[in-house]
Amino acid sequence: MKTSHAVLLGSLVSLLLSGCATIGTSPKGLEMPIEKAAIKFSSDIKEGGYQLVGTEELKKWLDSGKKLTVISTLPARDDKQLGTLPSAVSGTMPKSEKDLTPADKNGILLAAGSDKEQTVVVYCGFVACRRSHLGAKILVENGYKQVYRYPAGIAGWREADFPVNK
Protein backbone atom coordinates (compact mmCIF):
# COMPACT_ATOMS: atom_id res chain seq x y z
CA MET A 1 0.00 0.00 0.00
CA LYS A 2 2.84 2.42 0.90
CA THR A 3 4.52 1.69 -2.42
CA SER A 4 1.42 2.57 -4.42
CA HIS A 5 1.02 5.82 -2.48
CA ALA A 6 4.68 6.67 -3.12
CA VAL A 7 4.27 5.91 -6.83
CA LEU A 8 1.05 7.95 -6.97
CA LEU A 9 2.64 10.85 -5.09
CA GLY A 10 5.73 10.69 -7.30
CA SER A 11 3.56 10.66 -10.44
CA LEU A 12 1.52 13.62 -9.18
CA VAL A 13 4.64 15.66 -8.36
CA SER A 14 6.13 14.78 -11.74
CA LEU A 15 2.92 15.82 -13.51
CA LEU A 16 2.76 19.10 -11.61
CA LEU A 17 6.38 19.90 -12.31
CA SER A 18 6.03 19.13 -15.99
CA GLY A 19 3.01 21.45 -16.09
CA CYS A 20 5.14 24.25 -14.63
CA ALA A 21 7.54 23.96 -17.54
CA THR A 22 4.86 25.26 -19.89
CA ILE A 23 3.71 28.10 -17.64
CA GLY A 24 5.24 31.50 -18.20
CA THR A 25 4.96 34.84 -19.89
CA SER A 26 6.05 33.61 -23.28
CA PRO A 27 3.80 31.20 -25.17
CA LYS A 28 6.94 29.27 -26.08
CA GLY A 29 8.29 29.30 -22.52
CA LEU A 30 11.22 31.55 -23.40
CA GLU A 31 11.48 33.74 -20.32
CA MET A 32 15.07 34.93 -20.76
CA PRO A 33 14.39 37.22 -23.74
CA ILE A 34 11.38 38.65 -21.93
CA GLU A 35 13.44 39.23 -18.80
CA LYS A 36 16.16 40.96 -20.82
CA ALA A 37 13.59 43.19 -22.55
CA ALA A 38 11.86 44.02 -19.24
CA ILE A 39 15.14 45.05 -17.63
CA LYS A 40 16.03 47.22 -20.65
CA PHE A 41 12.55 48.79 -20.61
CA SER A 42 12.83 49.53 -16.88
CA SER A 43 16.28 51.01 -17.39
CA ASP A 44 14.98 53.23 -20.21
CA ILE A 45 12.21 54.61 -18.00
CA LYS A 46 14.63 55.41 -15.20
CA GLU A 47 17.14 57.00 -17.57
CA GLY A 48 14.49 58.93 -19.48
CA GLY A 49 12.74 60.42 -16.46
CA TYR A 50 9.31 60.18 -18.06
CA GLN A 51 6.10 58.45 -17.01
CA LEU A 52 4.10 55.70 -18.69
CA VAL A 53 0.49 55.64 -19.81
CA GLY A 54 -1.35 52.46 -20.77
CA THR A 55 -3.76 51.91 -23.61
CA GLU A 56 -6.99 52.12 -21.60
CA GLU A 57 -5.89 55.23 -19.69
CA LEU A 58 -4.78 57.01 -22.86
CA LYS A 59 -8.10 56.20 -24.51
CA LYS A 60 -9.90 57.74 -21.50
CA TRP A 61 -7.75 60.85 -21.76
CA LEU A 62 -8.54 61.26 -25.45
CA ASP A 63 -12.26 60.53 -25.00
CA SER A 64 -12.55 63.04 -22.15
CA GLY A 65 -10.93 65.79 -24.19
CA LYS A 66 -7.96 66.11 -21.84
CA LYS A 67 -5.60 68.76 -23.15
CA LEU A 68 -2.53 66.92 -24.42
CA THR A 69 -0.20 66.61 -27.34
CA VAL A 70 0.20 63.14 -28.87
CA ILE A 71 3.37 62.58 -30.89
CA SER A 72 4.10 59.69 -33.23
CA THR A 73 7.83 59.07 -33.47
CA LEU A 74 7.40 56.71 -36.41
CA PRO A 75 8.51 57.67 -39.92
CA ALA A 76 5.80 59.25 -42.09
CA ARG A 77 5.60 56.13 -44.30
CA ASP A 78 4.74 53.99 -41.23
CA ASP A 79 2.14 56.51 -40.04
CA LYS A 80 0.59 56.46 -43.51
CA GLN A 81 0.55 52.66 -43.66
CA LEU A 82 -0.57 51.94 -40.08
CA GLY A 83 -2.49 55.08 -39.24
CA THR A 84 -1.94 57.28 -36.21
CA LEU A 85 -3.58 57.77 -32.86
CA PRO A 86 -6.29 60.44 -32.90
CA SER A 87 -4.86 63.98 -32.99
CA ALA A 88 -1.26 62.73 -33.27
CA VAL A 89 1.39 64.94 -34.77
CA SER A 90 4.66 63.75 -36.25
CA GLY A 91 7.98 63.91 -34.42
CA THR A 92 9.99 61.25 -36.19
CA MET A 93 12.85 59.70 -34.23
CA PRO A 94 15.55 57.30 -35.39
CA LYS A 95 15.68 53.71 -34.13
CA SER A 96 18.72 54.32 -31.94
CA GLU A 97 20.45 57.12 -30.08
CA LYS A 98 23.60 56.80 -32.20
CA ASP A 99 21.53 57.87 -35.24
CA LEU A 100 20.00 60.91 -33.49
CA THR A 101 20.67 64.23 -35.24
CA PRO A 102 20.12 67.83 -34.13
CA ALA A 103 17.30 67.99 -36.71
CA ASP A 104 15.59 65.01 -35.01
CA LYS A 105 15.81 66.75 -31.63
CA ASN A 106 14.48 69.98 -33.09
CA GLY A 107 11.61 68.11 -34.77
CA ILE A 108 10.35 66.51 -31.55
CA LEU A 109 10.59 69.84 -29.72
CA LEU A 110 8.58 71.57 -32.45
CA ALA A 111 5.99 68.79 -32.37
CA ALA A 112 5.61 69.16 -28.59
CA GLY A 113 4.99 72.90 -28.80
CA SER A 114 6.13 75.65 -26.48
CA ASP A 115 3.93 74.89 -23.43
CA LYS A 116 6.25 72.82 -21.25
CA GLU A 117 3.49 72.28 -18.64
CA GLN A 118 1.10 70.55 -21.07
CA THR A 119 0.84 66.76 -21.06
CA VAL A 120 2.78 65.20 -23.94
CA VAL A 121 2.35 61.55 -24.94
CA VAL A 122 4.99 59.99 -27.17
CA TYR A 123 4.54 56.66 -28.95
CA CYS A 124 6.04 54.50 -31.67
CA GLY A 125 5.29 51.06 -33.09
CA PHE A 126 5.34 48.59 -30.19
CA VAL A 127 6.78 48.03 -26.71
CA ALA A 128 10.33 47.13 -27.79
CA CYS A 129 10.55 50.07 -30.22
CA ARG A 130 12.85 52.69 -28.71
CA ARG A 131 11.84 55.66 -30.85
CA SER A 132 9.33 56.78 -28.22
CA HIS A 133 11.97 56.43 -25.50
CA LEU A 134 14.30 58.76 -27.40
CA GLY A 135 11.55 61.30 -27.99
CA ALA A 136 10.32 61.26 -24.39
CA LYS A 137 13.86 61.52 -23.05
CA ILE A 138 14.61 64.55 -25.24
CA LEU A 139 11.45 66.29 -24.05
CA VAL A 140 12.31 65.70 -20.38
CA GLU A 141 15.88 66.91 -20.97
CA ASN A 142 14.43 70.10 -22.46
CA GLY A 143 12.21 70.94 -19.52
CA TYR A 144 8.84 69.41 -20.40
CA LYS A 145 7.15 68.48 -17.11
CA GLN A 146 4.35 66.05 -18.05
CA VAL A 147 5.96 63.61 -20.49
CA TYR A 148 4.42 60.17 -20.95
CA ARG A 149 5.55 57.28 -23.08
CA TYR A 150 2.81 55.08 -24.49
CA PRO A 151 4.73 51.80 -24.83
CA ALA A 152 2.20 49.65 -26.69
CA GLY A 153 2.33 52.09 -29.58
CA ILE A 154 0.25 51.86 -32.71
CA ALA A 155 0.33 48.04 -32.55
CA GLY A 156 -1.29 48.03 -29.11
CA TRP A 157 -3.79 50.73 -30.07
CA ARG A 158 -4.88 48.75 -33.11
CA GLU A 159 -4.93 45.50 -31.09
CA ALA A 160 -7.40 47.18 -28.72
CA ASP A 161 -9.46 47.98 -31.84
CA PHE A 162 -9.39 51.70 -31.10
CA PRO A 163 -9.81 54.17 -33.98
CA VAL A 164 -6.83 55.37 -35.97
CA ASN A 165 -6.44 58.30 -38.31
CA LYS A 166 -5.44 57.32 -41.84
What CATH number should be reported for the domain holding residue 73?
A: 3.40.250.10
Q: Cα dihedral sign for 98, 102, 103, 108?
A: positive
Whether the CB-CB separation of 89 and 72 falls below 8 Å is answered with yes
Q: What angle do CA 22, 28, 29 make, to 5 degrees?
A: 50
Question: Per residue in 93-135, pLDDT tens?
Answer: 999 999 999 999 999 999 999 999 999 999 999 999 999 999 9
58 and 109 assigned to the same domain? yes
* Residue 3 pLDDT level (bands cut at 50, 70, 90): very low
15 and 53 assigned to the same domain? no
* Residue 8 lies in domain: 1-40
Q: Which DSSP state fits 152?
A: T
- Number of domain units in the chain: 2
Q: Measured between alpha carbons, how far is 91 from 147 in angstroms, rounded to an integer?
A: 14
In a domain, 147, yes or no: yes
**CA 152 from chain center: how many Å?**
4
Question: Per residue in 40-49, pLDDT tens?
Answer: 999 999 999 9
Question: Per residue in 10-26, pLDDT tens?
Answer: 443 343 334 444 566 66
For helices 131-141 and 31-48, the axis angle rounded to 10 degrees is 20
Q: Is 75 left (phi over 0), alpha (psi -120 to 50) or beta?
A: beta
Q: Measured between alpha carbons, how far is 110 from 154 in angstroms, rounded to an integer?
A: 21
In a domain, 164, yes or no: no
Mean pLDDT of the chain: 87
